Amino acid sequence: MANSKLDGAADEVRETLMAQFRRIARLHRKRARDRADKMESDAEAIRDLDRFDHMPDDLADVHALPNGSRPHPSTYFSREDLDDHESRFQNGGTRFMPRANLEKYGPAQADGTSFLMSSDEVDQMLIDTGGDQELMERALGLDPGGLDGDLVRVDVPNPFDHGIRMPTGNEKGANDHWLPGGTLPGGISEGVIDGGGLVRGVDYTVDDFVPGG
């Protein structure tokens, strides 16, 4: 009976992940179609849309690999897909983090990288959730209580100056919630920059952040 329950729980986790990978594939397919519409030549721009049909399985394979051995996103996304992802950060990148961590370590992880969300999408998420902590945690793919404590909002207005790109999943900050495809579980675009040399007041700004505040 115990093994049966464990197997059932594992199957549920796998199906939840596959649902997320299918959503990511649909998101990138839609973006490719949007690019085609803008080009007014979908024969050229979406000739390979069928590749998205296989993407959920590809993403699952990447996700299953341990941190440090995952392939570069260019092996399972086109250059156009990667450029489109980076364009989500044209108006800046944002992260929320504990004030104490920022003051002690700065905005970057031990490997010098720093995860950011699209500032535009974060601002829209704040509007959509009304700042409700529980709704925000769901949108950001955080565990309940993930936004507890003394937090700050860190904004990087020019992430292109610091190499904004789709994460590989090999970064120090890629935790168990990381998903291949450059999105958080809730769909917000996620990128990574080289943040080790960022200067406060020059490369990034810091504001107090209180959910619902």
The ranges assigned to domains in the chain are 2-64, 92-209
Round to whole Å and give the CA distance between 1 and 28.
41
* Per-residue pLDDT at 7: 58
Q: What's the whole-number mean pLDDT along residues 46-67?
A: 83
Share of the chain above pLDDT 90, in %: 68
Round to whole Å and give the CA distance between 115 and 107.
9
Judged by average pLDDT, the poorest of 51-60, 156-165, 178-187 is 51-60
Round to whole Å and give the CA distance between 46 and 31.
10
Instruction: Give the confidence band of 203 by pLDDT, cuts at 50, 70, 90.
Output: very high
Spatial CA neighbour of 189 closest among 137, 147, 140: 140
Spatial CA neighbour of 109 closest among 196, 204, 177: 196
Instruction: Give the confidence band of 163 by pLDDT, cuts at 50, 70, 90.
Output: very high
Distance of CA 181 to the CA centre of its chain: 8
Q: What's the whole-number mean pLDDT along residues 198-212?
A: 94
pLDDT digits (tens, 9 = 90+) for 2-41: 565 545 667 787 898 999 999 999 998 888 888 777 766 5
Round to whole Å and give the CA distance between 91 and 160.
10
Instruction: Give the confidence band of 160 by pLDDT, cuts at 50, 70, 90.
Output: very high
Token pair listed for 31: 């973006």
Instruction: Give the confidence band of 48 by pLDDT, cuts at 50, 70, 90.
Output: low
Residue 95: CB atoms within 10 Å = 21
* Per-residue pLDDT at 1: 55
Residue where the block lists tokens 């992940």: 17
Round to whole Å and give the CA distance between 94 and 82.
19
Backbone angles phi, psi at 199, to 5 degrees: -110, 125
Round to whole Å and give the CA distance between 96 and 80.
29
* Per-residue pLDDT at 4: 58
Round to whole Å and give the CA distance between 118 and 193.
12
Residue where the block lists tokens 């958080």: 184
Backbone angles phi, psi at 61, to 5 degrees: -65, -45
Token pair listed for 76: 């399972």
Round to whole Å and give the CA distance between 212 and 126.
9
pLDDT digits (tens, 9 = 90+) for 83-119: 999 999 999 999 999 999 999 999 999 999 999 999 9
Q: Is the pLDDT of residue 54 over 90?
A: no
